[in-house]
Structure 1
Amino acid sequence: MQGPPMFGFITTHIEVVGVILLTLLVAFILLQQRRSPQSTAAWILFLVLLPYVAVPVFLGLGFRKQNKKYNPIRFSDKEHHRTPVHALDHTFQAFNMPPAVEAQSFRLLDSPQATFHALMEMIETAEHSIDCLFYIVTDDDTGRRFVQALTAKARAGVKVRLLMDRIGTMRGPHKAMKALREAGADVLFFSPFLQLPSSGHLNLRNHRKIIIADNARVFSGGMNIGANYMSDAPTDASWVDLAYLLEGLAVQGFCDVFRSDWEVASGHDIKLTSPAPKSAGLATVQLIPSGPDIAEDPLHDGLIRALHLAHSRIWIATPYFVPTEPLSNALRIAALRGVDVRIMVPQKSLQPIADFARGAYLRDAETAGAVIHYFTPAMMHAKAMVIDDAAAMGTANFDVRSMLLNFEAMLFLYDAGSVADLSDWFTAGFAQCHTNTPHPTLPRRLSEAIFRIGAPML
């Protein structure tokens, strides 16, 4: 039996007013956030056209910086604003990032087998502590052996902490992790599912990959824990990826990043006291983390400046290429200036939507003079760059999500030897690519253009 017409009118009126007020509130929040004009315009258009859908989507996914939840990383290195060793170092120090550190030991790992052996040796030789942070730990032979190695060290009295992203490790080796907990290790998940929708955390994933042994040695890079990334028995299905080992004073920055992430996940402060060695090699490196726990966007903004300053080469390797408009424009301008711009992407990645989205950006760069290299032998998952006499590698893809949303960690390299190692890796990779960019049909180009309008909403 239906209620009185007046009651129905009042109910509808209250609902409409409520949606309008909530939409205006969300629009106000949007205008307060540091976003590109394209991103803000895309969200507001979404709110106007589909408010009933846009408001809940924004509450779950729209927040980009969560300063109340993610306090800025407290870096132990108080010696900011040292004399910069490079123009990029100067830029990053202006963002209050840790300065570049000389006399470090850096070793590039560019094969699944070498990486697996280096990682297992690092765990086996740890004496006091092992702190691990990964986006993905898979339930396969590599994932289980990794967790079992940590379990053996925990039983031997080594302090073991394992932190994983909840979405990334939905299908982890849970039985092995249970044994790890029973051995006395601390195992936590970052940004779990059970949280308030208004927190916006579901859109802020921890994409960092770090292992710290005894607060003195670091394993990091683009590789997660899984057979696709690393294995002592690689197959034709193994991916092409990069990782590295680092020793020296720069390790302290990784300890600070891990401490910050662990405190968010656990809700408890921790103290890392073991000092890293002050010198270990010939490399000059600089850790640049990014994400909601960094007040500004030093990685994104620093790369824009680097691209505009480049005069000889810009080589980029990334599995997913969906850059922000400022990064895309900087690449185009560099190519038009005659800089040797090369972008290496997999022929086909694991993300069809990302492959679809990259088309317009890659063609824009190619039209300006860049060369697009499509890697054909396998899935190419590496995230690396060589810009003139500097290089970078780590966890960040060259896309909107990595640059402006995810928790990431990139290592910049300024010494000739390390830059040469990464340059040689690029040269070998280019030799396994083709440069025939497909020419899409008109319907596809129109679809890509529509998608490009919505991409900033990420």
Structure 2
Amino acid sequence: MYYLFEHFLVVLGVLAVASAMVLALQPRRTPQSSAAWILFIIMVPYVAVPVFLVLGFRKSGRSFPAIRFSPHPALPETEPPPLAHIFDSLGAPPAVGGNRIHLHETPADARAGLDEVIAGARDRLDILLYVLARDESGLRFLDQLKRKLHEGVKVRLSVDWLGSHTRPRRALRAFVEAGGELRYFSPLDHLTDTAHLNLRNHRKMVIADCARVWAGGRNVGDDYLASPPGKWVDLSFTAEGPVIDSFNAVFASDWEVAGDPLPEPVPPPVAPAGEALLQLVPAGPDEPQDVLHDGLVAAIYRAKKRVWIATPYFVPTDPLAQALATAARSGVDVRILLPLKSNQWTTDLARGPYIRALARTGVGFHFFRPGMMHAKAGLIDEACWIGSANFDVRSMLLNFELAVMAWDPATTTAISRWFDRLLPDCDTSLPRPGFFRRLIEGVFRLGAPIL
């Protein structure tokens, strides 16, 4: 009987390993990712198979249905540029005109913008956050939400469970007791309901009355809203106008993933508020294709003058790296703005081989010296974007992310000037790692899709 049971366990183990390896070879996974997982499974199967079941999946239409964008968006009076149609054809909502957007370049600007959006809410506040920190800024934010609840405003707050693992639990309980609605995205005890631990909601948005949004790369915490000048560099924005219809659709979809759908009917289209031509581009398991990733690849290949990218973590996919190399070789001004040392040492180790390989093709790297550079933004010729997505494998192919493409000269000029102000504080010399550093970097590069 013992030998029969032992045989059963061996057969079960072999089937589990074989199944994991077959799944690791799924066509939507990059070759690098498949190789990393298969090597992991072969070397330590008893550890790798359970880890793969938790971390090894990408798209999941069953758990994350596609975002239901408006079928009749408010199209601009003038014809959008060709790149806007590329993102549209890949699955993003169309570019819409009549918007107003204001960039927050400093923590003080971001905090003032957030305060203004919250204070201006009269009926509802819909909020998605990746990090809600247990510090002065996080507690102040929750106090503001409680005051709005006392004013009769409906407040819904969705927080990523893993991203906010150090969240202010007592203050959140007080928020719920005051009448606020709180949901956690993909908590550990509901992974079977909302897919896998590896798929995190990295989006950040605060929407007031379905008509105005605070969004971008910033979370809610002291690093993002109260850090000294230069210590933590980031970008966020407030926007209003027809593009908010797309933000409302994203919030409704993400809120439904964590529970019941919103009870209110779809809000009416938002009226024009300015001149900016904007396009919201989502990324994540709730959109069937890799819209942001594929759109950026196409845009970089079409670049004529410049490709400037700001990202805290630089671990590009092979198609993105090839697009950057091709652009640089063809004479395009390709620049990557990175922190000299980020707050994630694992990605700092993984980025080294990519940086050295691309530098040989003519890509210029600018390492921000004074502090952490956390902004996620870019310029491609006369277009720009700002959002939550890092220029790495995780943001492009795994996380739930958002980017807003801007096609108007005013916004593009503002982003260009932001780059110009940071470049004097950057070092352009490349580090020269020794043999052991290169060896470690190679290991981390191989494991980049898992990290």
TM-score between the two structures when normalised by the length of structure 1: 0.94
Query: Which residue of structure 1 lines up, in the alignment, with residue 344 of structure 2?
Result: 351
Give the alignment partner of residue 302 of structure 1, picking from 274, 295, 302.
295
Contact between 2:20 and 2:49, CA under 8 Å: does it hold in 1?
yes
Contact between 2:133 and 2:164, CA under 8 Å: does it hold in 1?
yes
Q: How does 1:300-339 map to 2 (within 5 A)?
A: 300-339=293-332
Q: Distance in 1 between matches of 2:186 and 2:322?
A: 33
Q: Is 1:150 matched up with 2:145?
A: yes
Q: Is 1:170 matched up with 2:195?
A: no
Query: Which residue of structure 1 lines up, in the alignment, with residue 412 of structure 2?
Result: 419
Give the alignment partner of residue 289 of structure 1, picking from 279, 282, 289.
282
3-state SS of 1:266 partner: coil
Contact between 1:127 and 1:158, CA under 8 Å: does it hold in 2?
yes
Q: Distance in 2 between matches of 1:272 and 1:239?
A: 40
Contact between 1:228 and 1:237, CA under 8 Å: does it hold in 2?
no
Query: Which residue of structure 2 lines up, in the alignment, with residue 36 of structure 1?
Result: 30
**Deviation for aligned residue 1:198:** 9.8
3-state SS of 2:415 partner: helix
Contact between 2:64 and 2:194, CA under 8 Å: does it hold in 1?
no
Q: Is 1:366 matched up with 2:359?
A: yes
Q: Distance in 2 between matches of 1:314 and 1:62?
A: 32
Q: Distance in 2 between matches of 1:59 and 1:354?
A: 23
**Deviation for aligned residue 1:97:** 1.4
Q: Distance in 2 between matches of 1:262 and 1:443?
A: 46
Query: Which residue of structure 1 lines up, in the alignment, with residue 101 of structure 2?
Result: 106
Q: Distance in 1 between matches of 2:25 and 2:401?
A: 25
**Deviation for aligned residue 1:34:** 1.1
Q: Distance in 1 between matches of 2:328 and 2:432?
A: 20
Contact between 1:342 and 1:372, CA under 8 Å: does it hold in 2?
yes
Deviation track 1:211-270 (CA, whole Å, cap 9, x = no partner) reads 100100011000000111013xx4257411000011101101000000000011123344
Query: Which residue of structure 2 lines up, in the alignment, with residue 131 of structure 1?
Result: 126
**Deviation for aligned residue 1:149:** 0.5
Query: Which residue of structure 2 lines up, in the alignment, with residue 439 of structure 1?
Result: 432
Q: Distance in 2 between matches of 1:198 and 1:446?
A: 40
Q: Is 1:45 matched up with 2:39?
A: yes
3-state SS of 2:137 partner: helix
Deviation track 1:191-213 (CA, whole Å, cap 9, x = no partner) reads 11113579752101100000100
**Deviation for aligned residue 1:79:** 4.7
Q: Distance in 1 between matches of 2:109 and 2:272?
A: 24
Question: Identity of paired residues, percent?
Answer: 46
Q: Is 1:387 matched up with 2:380?
A: yes
Count matched residues.
450
Q: How does 1:62-81 map to 2 (within 5 A)?
A: 62-79=56-73
* More divergent stretch after superposition (222-231 vs 17-26): 17-26
3-state SS of 1:385 partner: strand
Q: Distance in 1 between matches of 2:365 and 2:444?
A: 21
Runs of 4+ that moved beyond 6 A: 80-83
Structure 1 unaligned blocks of 5 or more: 1-6
Contact between 2:194 and 2:258, CA under 8 Å: does it hold in 1?
no
* More divergent stretch after superposition (65-74 vs 274-283): 274-283
TM-score between the two structures when normalised by the length of structure 2: 0.95
Q: Is 1:11 matched up with 2:8?
A: no
Contact between 1:165 and 1:207, CA under 8 Å: does it hold in 2?
yes
Deviation track 1:163-188 (CA, whole Å, cap 9, x = no partner) reads 10001111222222222112211011
Deviation track 1:123-149 (CA, whole Å, cap 9, x = no partner) reads 111111111110011111111111111
Q: Distance in 1 between matches of 2:18 and 2:40?
A: 13
Query: Which residue of structure 2 lines up, in the alignment, with residue 4 of structure 1?
Result: none
**Deviation for aligned residue 1:273:** 3.7
Change beyond 3 A, Cα 1:40–1:78: farther
3-state SS of 2:224 partner: coil
Give the alignment partner of residue 20 of structure 2, picking from 16, 26, 32.
26
Q: Distance in 2 between matches of 1:297 and 1:106?
A: 26
Contact between 2:231 and 2:370, CA under 8 Å: does it hold in 1?
no
Contact between 2:55 and 2:450, CA under 8 Å: does it hold in 1?
no
* More divergent stretch after superposition (86-95 vs 126-135): 86-95
**Deviation for aligned residue 1:42:** 2.6
Provide the aligned C-alpha RMSD in A. Answer: 1.9
**Deviation for aligned residue 1:51:** 2.0
Contact between 1:217 and 1:251, CA under 8 Å: does it hold in 2?
yes
3-state SS of 1:133 partner: strand
Contact between 1:84 and 1:99, CA under 8 Å: does it hold in 2?
no
Q: Distance in 2 between matches of 1:10 and 1:40?
A: 34
Deviation track 1:376-408 (CA, whole Å, cap 9, x = no partner) reads 112111000001111011000011100000000
Contact between 2:132 and 2:159, CA under 8 Å: does it hold in 1?
yes
Q: Distance in 1 between matches of 2:84 and 2:212?
A: 23
**Deviation for aligned residue 1:374:** 0.7
* More divergent stretch after superposition (213-222 vs 192-201): 192-201
One-letter amino acid of the structure 2 residue matched with residue 60 of structure 1: V
Q: Distance in 2 between matches of 1:378 and 1:51?
A: 40
One-letter amino acid of the structure 2 residue matched with residue 72 of structure 1: A
Q: Distance in 2 between matches of 1:422 and 1:432?
A: 17
Contact between 1:344 and 1:372, CA under 8 Å: does it hold in 2?
yes
